[in-house]
Amino acid sequence: MLHTPAVSFRSLNDIKPGCRVRIRRHHSSGAVRQRLMDLGLMPNVDVLVVRSAPLNDPIELKLEAANVSLRRQEAATIEVFDNDEQ
Amino acid sequence: MTNSDLLVALAGQQNAGKSTLFNVLTGARQHVANYPGVTVDKKYGVYRDASGKVTAVDLPGTYSLTSFSLEERVARDFLLIEKPDVTVNVVDASNLKRSLHLTLQLTEMGLPTVLALNMMDVVERRGTQIDRDLLSERLGVPVVATVGRKGEGREALRSAIRTASGTHAPARCSVDYGDLETDIAALEAASGAHGALADIPGRWLALKLLEDDRRAVEIVRQRLAGDAADALIADAGLRAAAFATARGIDVPDHVVACRDRAVRALLDGVFMAGTRETGSTVTERIDRFVLNRFAAPLFLVFTVFMIYQVAIVWGYELTEYTWPLLAHTREFIAGLLPDAGFLTDPYIRSMGLWLVDSANTLLNYVPIFLILFALIAMLEDSGYMARIAFILDKVLHRFGLHGQSTLPLILGGVFAGGCAVPGVMATKGIPDNRARMATIFAVPFMNCLAKVPLYTLLLGIFFVENRSLMMFYISTITVIFALLVSKLLTKTVLSGQETSPFVMELPTYHLPTVKGVVRRAVDRTWLYVKKVGTIVIAVAVVVFTLLQFPGLSDERWAHFQTEGAKAIATFETKMAGNAYADIATGSNVVGLINFSNDYKRAKLNASGASASSAVNDSFEAANPAFYALVRPPRGDADAKAASRALRSLVSTRKTLRREMKEERIRSSLLGTIGRGMEPVTQFAGFDWKINVALLSSFAARESSVATLGVLFQQDEDQNASLETRMGAETTAAGATALLAVSMILFFALYPPCLATTVMVKIQTGSYKWMMFSILFPTVLGLTVSSAVYSIGKATGASGIEAMTAVYFGSLALLIVVGLFGRRRRSAFLPTMAHRPSLRT
Ligand SMILES: Nc1nc2c(ncn2[C@@H]2O[C@H](COP(=O)(O)OP(=O)(O)O)[C@@H](O)[C@H]2O)c(=O)[nH]1
Ligand SMILES: [Mg+2]
């Protein structure tokens, strides 16, 4: 049986390489959430999805200060604004 | 004066250069890497300045000071409990904005802080300037510019540490948390009323309680009585919940956002001139190629191949030049030890030579390791190692490992050649605990350099035609096994271990420095040499003893003595009437034999005609009379006859000694154990000799071939290689290529050597895991070998057929497991938060 999330949202996981988006909020908690924030993935921050790894996972993001890589599993917990909302 | 002695902690993000600055400050050596997370444990070092002794501690790299990860807990507990006099916050000045989050958290804890702006060379190269005075004034802490890599800024940093140690007032700068301030003030007042919390900074504690920080809650519970603690914690919880409802944002998010705003304000006008980083455009251009979907795998394979070619292939060629040095050392030591006897040698001599031989086999690899470790240091420092982790994470993660497991696996010898000791050591860089444990158990499956000689030996006997195919099977099947085992362990014994997400920074590319690379290569090689110096030598003594005792029975000993006397008598009969009879009598005989043997060995070690004639000259000078018998002068009939008699005596002696040795080993403690194991190992086809070799290889893999060499000794004058001897003996005993396959598989899965298990103990911190790292592979290896040998024998499969079947069988299993892992993953639910306030 396929499980669908209670609330569906557009996440970083859905963004194509080369696109820039703004982070809306986190859907993770605890250590994961803290780690993402530490790396600069904070709400209202713009990120550029640079590329996905040759095997599609993880992905590389460009933040203001550094390039960070992230598994799709975690990227899927980061909600982003739809482009027209920004 | 003791009160001018200081305790200083170095805190900062990974790769900010803490360890480098720690070395600059204290002059001590420490592991340095451009790879996230190399430092996990804290390191101490001491230096003196004009006012006294300063102890510096290198804390684990942390992005912030929450209690979510082990590193952060370690670092924060140190700051909170040990209360260092000064905290040096090392930041990457080229990445100031993100680094200052931590600075603010440090000042919030009320710690006297010095801000070390490291990597100033990078900043300058970009043409940027940082207004340090402005930053210092706004933060209220001294700001020092450093270039750790070049050792610049040491004195300034040392004196800033002194200055800061005097100021016990909390730093000026504090973050404005907006609407949360009333709650913070209220909680600060409430906790301030408790004397038991007096040494904890009030504002910090209030904030942490509002954030529902696990460790802060723990502290309150430890220090306060049940009611009081409950009241304080409940108050904080209610306030946090009310805040979240009213503002639509959780407290931790709000805190981060406020801090981010504070950092922006701090940095406003601090940067003078210069624009966006230029370094990153170079990095971008390199990455566009190196991480390209098609180029990435090719470049990766090329890199690994180059490592293999340069370190292993060329390194091996280099050992042809370094081996004579070791051989000379052995001769030199042999000369110092008491002389050999006719039938037995003094214990000091045989033990001494045994130790030298054990050490030499390991030292022989030093050139290879120097090159290998230098190349790997270059990969780490350049930043490419992080890219390898990025490329391979998907595959490794599917089997319970981690992108950053790559470095330990390469050090362990993915394809051929490596050492599990530095491999296991390197696992401490892996931020995910469960993957780190899995990697620790996977690394010993790699092909350490010491496994190679046994493979070479067996392939040379049984697989002459399929040698390269077999070598390919061996080197890749170990990776398959390692992946399968990690998956198995992750799903079973390791399933309870803490995991954390894969979020890794991809650092900008650096050109590695010669100094850094050389130092790391030497450090890691030195670690390997220490392994020779301590554990291997110690175990060599134990194995030697186990092989010597209890020794021959009196009756057998008497038998060999009679045989020996007979041989000497024969020799003396032959020499009767010979012109040289006088110099070859009585006690001279043993001396003559030793002279002859030394001469032969010296000739073997000497390469080239000139070296060879130099050997002649020196032996002739040492004892001209003996020399005439060893190398009879042309036309001297008596000398020729005497020389022939001597040769026959030498060879009889050798045979006797071999028989004695074999009998001794058979009845020795180790031989007894080996025979005792036969009922179990017979299913894998191992007889007692092989058991003894495998047992002794636990001390160090190299010994397996050496022990086999002793057990399959030469006959008489025969000068066959171990390959031929073992081949003849084992095939005569019914051994087949199938047995070789069984041995190879067992050896591939066999437990790590003793030095590695000690490293496992250090890295896992538990004897339980160390025992596990020994027992699990033994059982696994024996099971696989027995299955292959028994089934192979029942079906009449040849060696190569059996190996091919095993190979493709495990490959199929790997693919199935890999696909199975994927199905599980896609069922993963992205929503795992409990955020009722935000659900619409
Ligand atoms: N360019 C430059 N590189 C540095 C400097 N200080 C350290 N590094 C390099 O940065 C990398 C990480 O340093 P390390 O001391 O291991 O950082 P740690 O993780 O904070 O302990 C190493 O490759 C160092 O050689 C510096 O001032 N300038
Ligand atoms: Mg470090």
The better pLDDT of the pair B236, B629 is held by B236
The verdict on the CB of residue B730 being under 6 Å from ligand 1 is no
Task: Answer yes or no: is B270 a known binding residue.
Answer: no
B210 pLDDT band, cuts 50/70/90, is very high
Return d(Cα B4, Cα B7) in angstroms, integer: 10
Is B722's pLDDT higher than 70? no
DSSP symbols for B73-118: HHHHHIIIII--SEEEEEEEGGGHHHHHHHHHHHHHTT--EEEEEE
Question: At what angle are helices B226-247 and B181-192 packed, to 10 degrees?
Answer: 180
Residue A7 lies in a domain: no
State whether B27 and B67 are in the same domain. Answer: yes
Alpha carbon nearest to ligand 1 atom 14, residue: B17
Is B495's pLDDT higher than 60? yes
Provide the domain count of chain B. 3
pLDDT in tens, B366-405: 888 899 889 988 988 898 989 999 999 999 999 999 998 9
Nearest ligand to the C-alpha atom of residue B119? 1
Atom of ligand 1 nearest to the CA of B12: 20
Question: What pLDDT was estimated at residue A4?
Answer: 46
State whether B188 and B124 are in the same domain. Answer: no
Question: What pLDDT was estimated at residue B833?
Answer: 37
- Verify cis geometry, omega within 30 degrees of 0, for the bond prior to B751: no
Residue A1 lies in a domain: no
Alpha carbon nearest to ligand 1 atom 11, residue: B34
Tokens of B486: 């990690």
Determine the residue among B247, B390, B824 to mutate to test chain A binding: the one whose Cβ has the most chain A Cβ atoms within 10 Å.
B390
Calculate the CA dihedral of residues B235, B241, B242, B244 and round it to 10 degrees.
Answer: 140
Task: Answer yes or no: is B202 a known binding residue.
Answer: no
Out of B394, B505, B506, the one facing A55 most closely (by C-beta) is B394
* Cβ <8 Å between A71 and B831: no
pTM of the prediction? 0.76
pLDDT in tens, B259-308: 989 998 998 888 775 554 555 578 888 999 999 989 999 999 899 888 87
* Cβ <8 Å between B502 and A70: yes
Nearest ligand to the C-alpha atom of residue B21? 1
State whether B201 and B155 are in the same domain. Answer: no
Is B518's pLDDT higher than 60? yes
Cα-to-centroid distance, B516 and ligand 1 (Å): 10
Is B32's pLDDT higher than 70? no
* Cβ <8 Å between A31 and B64: no
State whether B210 and B91 are in the same domain. Answer: no
Question: What pLDDT was estimated at residue B180?
Answer: 92
Domain limit, last residue, from B642, B664, B686 = B664
B181 pLDDT band, cuts 50/70/90, is very high
B838 pLDDT band, cuts 50/70/90, is very low
Structural domain span for residue A76: 12-85
State whether B101 and B227 are in the same domain. Answer: no
Question: What pLDDT was estimated at residue B443?
Answer: 94
* B105, B140 Cβ separation under 8 angstroms: no
Question: What pLDDT was estimated at residue B153?
Answer: 92
B532 pLDDT band, cuts 50/70/90, is low
The verdict on the CB of residue B93 being under 6 Å from ligand 1 is no
Residue A79 lies in a domain: yes
CA–CA min distance B55, chain A (Å) = 29
The better pLDDT of the pair B736, B805 is held by B805
Is B60's pLDDT higher than 50? yes
Residue B401 lies in a domain: no
Using alpha carbons, select from B517, B589, B527 the residue that is nearest to residue B366.
B527
The verdict on the CB of residue B15 being under 6 Å from ligand 1 is yes
Using alpha carbons, select from B629, B630, B646 the residue that is nearest to residue B571.
B646
Residue B500 lies in a domain: no
Cα-to-centroid distance, B19 and ligand 2 (Å): 4
Other residues' Cβ atoms within 10 Å of the Cβ of residue B272? 10
Q: What is the mean pLDDT of residues B99-111?
A: 89
Is B575's pLDDT higher than 80? no
* B835-to-A6, A29, B241 alpha-carbon distances in Å: 12, 9, 11
Atom of ligand 1 nearest to the CA of B513: 25
Mean pLDDT lowest for which of A20-24, A63-67, B715-719? Answer: B715-719
State whether B159 and B186 are in the same domain. Answer: no
Q: What is the ipTM of this complex?
A: 0.91
Cα-to-centroid distance, B697 and ligand 1 (Å): 40
The strand order across the sheet containing B52-58 reads B43-49, B52-58, B6-12, B86-92, B113-118, B143-145
Q: What is the mean pLDDT of residues B101-115?
A: 90
Residue B222 lies in a domain: yes
Provide the domain count of chain A. 1
Whether chain B has a CB inside 8 Å of the CB on A51: the answer is yes
Whether chain B has a CB inside 8 Å of the CB on A8: the answer is no
* B138, B266 Cβ separation under 8 angstroms: yes
State whether B142 and B241 are in the same domain. Answer: no
**Three-state SS annotation for B138-158:** HHCCCEEECEHHHCECHHHHH
Other residues' Cβ atoms within 10 Å of the Cβ of residue B465? 9
Residue B462 lies in a domain: no
A15 pLDDT band, cuts 50/70/90, is very high
Instruction: Identify the DSSP state of B308.
Output: I
State whether B29 and B122 are in the same domain. Answer: yes
State whether B44 and B159 are in the same domain. Answer: yes
Mean pLDDT lowest for which of B48-52, B314-318, B440-444, B535-539? Answer: B535-539
The verdict on the CB of residue B381 being under 6 Å from ligand 1 is yes
Task: Answer yes or no: is B297 a known binding residue.
Answer: no
Structural domain span for residue B26: 6-166
Out of A3, A11, A43, the one facing B829 most closely (by C-beta) is A3
Domain limit, last residue, from B636, B664, B692 = B664
CATH number for position B36: 3.40.50.300
Q: What is the mean pLDDT of residues B72-81?
A: 84
Residue A58 lies in a domain: yes
The better pLDDT of the pair B347, B287 is held by B287
The better pLDDT of the pair B763, A49 is held by A49
Is B669's pLDDT higher than 80? yes
Other residues' Cβ atoms within 10 Å of the Cβ of residue B364? 18
The verdict on the CB of residue B685 being under 6 Å from ligand 1 is no
Question: At what angle are helices B226-247 and B202-210 packed, to 10 degrees?
Answer: 60
Return d(Cα B413, Cα B445) in angstroms, integer: 9
Q: DSSP strand E in B619-689: where? A: none
Question: What pLDDT was estimated at residue B712?
Answer: 58
* B96, B130 Cβ separation under 8 angstroms: yes
The mean of the pLDDT values for chain B is 82
B754 pLDDT band, cuts 50/70/90, is confident
Is A20's pLDDT higher than 50? yes
Question: What pLDDT was estimated at residue B31?
Answer: 46
Residue A3 lies in a domain: no
* B620-to-B327, B338, B585, B617 alpha-carbon distances in Å: 21, 22, 20, 5
